[in-house]
Amino acid sequence: MLGIMSIQKWLFKVIDMESILQFKEYRVLEQVYTKDFESKINHDEVKLREIKAGIAIDADDKAQGRVELEISLGDGDPNDNKFYVKVKVSGIFRLESDNDHEISEFANLLKVNGVAILFPYVRSLIAELTSKGSELPIILPTFNVAELLEEVTE
């Protein structure tokens, strides 16, 4: 199994520096935003509820894959949220390689790089959703996706 640094070095072809992982498109699968009218969002109390990341390789085309990323936030008791937001997106990626080794590592590449590519879209959607009304937006910090995925899978 390749380490993170090996995957990153392997990701770029040295000759033309073109990425072998092509991001084709993304879709917003779900957006949920609920907020109690009487309360204000206390940005210090907003908690990351859940991060889910899943990958799937197309059964008919092993060079095409999909990544889903879901992030939910809330405050207070999860059963009695004054504030709750969830965003789920899906991205389609294509591996531009005929190398058998690269194809066998496609799932690892999607797991790290696919999630890292989708995260800014989720971050932006959460900021946009939470800015509606008279509230300041919730802006997620940037994350080291590789470290975050290690924590989530442990």
Token duo for residue 22: 């092509």
Q: What percent of the chain lies above the pLDDT cut of 90?
A: 34
CA distance 91 to 28: 9
CA separation for the pair 66, 154 (Å, rounded): 23
Q: If you average pLDDT over each of 22-26, 32-36, 100-104, 150-154, which comes out highest?
A: 22-26
- As a whole number of angstroms, the longest Cα–Cα distance in the chain is 59
CA distances from 129 to 36, 88, 92 (A): 15, 13, 23
Is the pLDDT reported for residue 48 higher than 50?
A: yes
Strands (E) across the chain are located at: 21-35, 47-57, 64-74, 83-95
93 closest CA partner among 80, 111, 77, 78: 111
| Domains defined along the chain, listed by start | 4-153 (3.10.420.10)
Q: What are phi and psi of 98, to 5 degrees?
A: -105, 0
Report whether 150 contacts 111 (CB < 8 A).
no
What is the model's pLDDT at position 9? 56
pLDDT band (50, 70, 90) for residue 80: low
Q: Is the pLDDT of residue 14 over 70?
A: no
pLDDT (average), residues 45-60: 87
Lowest mean pLDDT among 53-57, 61-65, 145-149: 145-149
| Confidence band for 6, pLDDT divided at 50, 70 and 90 | low
Across the range 38-63, mean pLDDT stands at 83
- pLDDT (tens digit, 9 = 90+) per residue, 126-150? 999 988 877 788 888 887 776 776 6
